[in-house]
Structure 1
Amino acid sequence: MVKGKIAIRKINCSKSRQVTFFKRRTGLLKKAKELSILCDAEIGVIIFSCTGKLYDYASTSMNSVIERYNKMKQDNQQQSITAAAIQFLQTETESLNQQLRCLQECNRRLMGEELSKLGLEDLKNLENVLEMGLKNVRSRKDQIHMEEMRELKRKVDDVEQENVQLRKKLRVVGRDHRESDGEFFAETSCNKERSKMSSQAIPYEDDMPERIVLQLSLQPKPYLLDVQKAASG
């Protein structure tokens, strides 16, 4: 008699559920063992019954199987994350490339190139954009000119103020110099006057004439007598 297929759903009868669990658990563990032997596979099976009992099978060691499982799971997650990141980067790169192509095309049109594909309305829009851009450029240029003029005026004012200060310092220095020269000339004149007066009052020894002292001798000298005798003879 051929067994009919049973529906895969929860068995309500607890006794029938226990019998089915025992049979299928035994068959599952047997198949796992056979698979590990035939195919040289590392297999670990963990079963918890509805009553909370633990049944397990490991071809090598349950700890090594669980450790290998966790490692492989992490690697798979990283690979998934890497694959998702690569996909995102590829999508983002394609979007950026598309934007770059659009910008290059707009730039060429602003330079007056590749206008053959544009219609009348597109050309009018391009003309408005260029006029607006030219207006902004001129406004910015005028602003820069005004800023430069203000800066130059500030520098001129600083130089003039510095010149005023220097002129004041020169006037003060000139006045002090003239006063010091006047005192010097007055002192020199006074010294000259004092020297003149002292020279008139007390003459120097070098300026005094030499005195000639004449001494009259009453007794004639012997050689004078000889001279007189020769003259009378």
Structure 2
Amino acid sequence: MVRRKTEMKRIENATSRQVTFSKRRNGLLKKAFELSVLCDAEVALIIFSNKGRLYEFSSSSINKTVEKYQRKAKELGIDSIAVQVQENLQHLKEEAVSMSKKIEQLDVSKRQLLGDCLESCSINELHQIEETLEQSLSNIRSRKDQLFKEKIKQLKEEERALVEENAKLREKCEKQSRLLSTTLQVVHREISDVNTELFIGRPPER
């Protein structure tokens, strides 16, 4: 049976949400333990459920690990980095929302150009759609005329090449015809020179 990919959004059903939380929490705690043992890493994990219940794991002391993190964060300026990351995320979210709106507008515009979703359009909007369609038709006709002209030019060039080829073949045929006529005349003369008299009886003695 193929396992379906879980959609990353909040589970609306409370029972399913609690079951998923328990399974994922236990799996996360197990992975944290394995990481600390296999890699000899100092790991601290803190989880709060949606009801505020605390779950934690630490390979040593969670308080010491948190203090160590705070000292390291202060040294590296992680607070300012976190703020910058948060700002970047907010900017990306705004861009995503803006792009989503643009895509929706383009989809509506496409439907309107196809003759759908026109009920909510005003007179001015319908006039703009009409002008857009007329401009599109003008561009299409212009492109079609250009393709026709290019095709006609191509056919004329092919016709010229065929005429030249036909002229060469005609000249070749005429040469072969003249040669054949000359050959027949020579053969006819040779046949005429042959003695074709008929003798009855014994041939005369010489």
Q: TM-score by structure 2 length? A: 0.51
Distance 1:172 1:138 in 2: 51
Q: Do the aligned partners of residues 43 and 113 (structure 1) sit closer, same or farther apart at CA in structure 2, a change above 3 Å counting?
A: closer
Matches within 5 A, 1:77-156: 91-156=94-159
1:207 alignment counterpart: 203
Matches within 5 A, 1:34-53: none
Q: Do the aligned partners of residues 42 and 101 (structure 1) sit closer, same or farther apart at CA in structure 2, a change above 3 Å counting?
A: closer
Matches within 5 A, 1:39-78: none
**Deviations 1:37-87, CA, capped at 9 Å, x for gaps:** 9x666999xxxxxxxxxxxxxxxxxxxxxxxx7xxx7xx9x9999988876
What's the CA shift for 1:208? 5.6
Which stretches of structure 1, 4 residues or longer, exceed 6 Å deviation after superposition? 78-88
Distance 1:40 1:112 in 2: 68
1:168 alignment counterpart: 171
Coordinate RMSD, CA, aligned? 4.2
Identity %: 25
SS in 2 for 1:136: helix
Q: TM-score by structure 1 length? A: 0.46
Greater relative CO (CA pairs within 8 A, separation 6+): 2
What's the CA shift for 1:140? 1.5
SS in 1 for 2:108: helix
Aligned residues: 138
Larger gyration radius, structure 1 or structure 2 = 1
Distance 1:117 1:106 in 2: 12
Distance 2:107 2:88 in 1: 28
Distance 1:180 1:81 in 2: 101
Distance 2:184 2:87 in 1: 96
Unmatched tracts of structure 2, length 5 or more: 1-59
Q: Do the aligned partners of residues 153 and 101 (structure 1) sit closer, same or farther apart at CA in structure 2, a change above 3 Å counting?
A: same
